[in-house]
């Protein structure tokens, strides 16, 4: 896929319990120009690889017993031993019901990608994560990229946040 992006220096961690899916995603990444990708088979393995590998991006499946992708994301974002709570994370899953998309978003993911996966869909998410300019938000219940992505910034209602002066 031709683009103005050079992904050759991007370090990507791919986490899925299916060796076939990991292989498919890794081959897509090679096709996009990514030269450095590591693989993990569940959330615990992914966290260990996150510590040793220091990726620029993580792509993780949701359903991976015993430690699933949602638990992994929450650990990356909130654990004191997380080496990089700001790493962009793409959640890859066959769970596409709205409540599950919201659960993934509320865990702190950067982007959501539904299975079955295509090279074009993965490429679009990769570009969106690289271009993502959302600030990270921390409060009592959430840490991750601002969940208000794509919403109007000129909301005229009474609950509009005041502009900093």
Q: How confident is the model at residue 165 (pLDDT cuts 50, 70, 90)?
A: very low
pLDDT for residue 13 is more than 90: yes
Q: How far apart are CA 116 and CA 79, in angstroms?
A: 31
Q: How far apart are CA 82 and CA 38, in angstroms?
A: 18
Strand 136-138, strand 143-145: pairing: antiparallel
Give the model's pLDDT for residue 83.
96
- What is the pTM assigned to this prediction? 0.86
**Is CATH 2.40.50.100 the right assignment for the domain spanning 11-145?**
no
pLDDT for residue 155 is more than 90: no
pLDDT for residue 11 is more than 80: yes
Q: How far apart are CA 15 and CA 61, in angstroms?
A: 6
CB-based contacts of 154, cutoff 8 Å, min separation 6: none
Q: How far apart are CA 162 and CA 101, in angstroms?
A: 29
Per-residue pLDDT tens digits for 88-106: 999 999 888 999 889 999 9
Per-residue pLDDT tens digits for 103-139: 999 999 999 999 999 999 999 999 999 898 889 989 8
* Mean pLDDT of the residues in the chain: 88
pLDDT for residue 164 is more than 50: no
Q: Which residues on neighbouring strands pair with residue 145, listed in sequence order?
A: 136
């Amino acid at each position: 896929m031709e683009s103005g992006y050079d992904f050759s220096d991007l370090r990507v961690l791919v986490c899925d319990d299916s060796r076939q899916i990991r292989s498919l995603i890794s081959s897509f990444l090679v096709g996009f120009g990514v030269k450095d990708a590591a693989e993990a088979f569940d959330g615990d393995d992914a966290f260990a690889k996150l510590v040793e590998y220091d990726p620029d991006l993580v792509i993780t499946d949701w359903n991976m017993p015993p430690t699933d992708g949602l638990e992994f994301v929450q650990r990356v974002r909130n654990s004191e031993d997380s080496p990089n709570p700001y790493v962009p994370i793409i959640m890859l899953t066959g769970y596409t019901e709205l409540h599950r998309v919201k659960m993934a978003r509320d865990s702190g993911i950067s982007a959501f990608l539904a299975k079955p996966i295509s090279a074009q869909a993965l490429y679009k998410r990769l570009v969106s994560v690289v271009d993502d300019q959302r600030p990270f938000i921390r409060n009592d219940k959430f840490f991750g990229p601002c969940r208000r992505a794509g919403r109007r910034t000129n909301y005229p209602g009474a609950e509009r946040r005041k502009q900093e002066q």
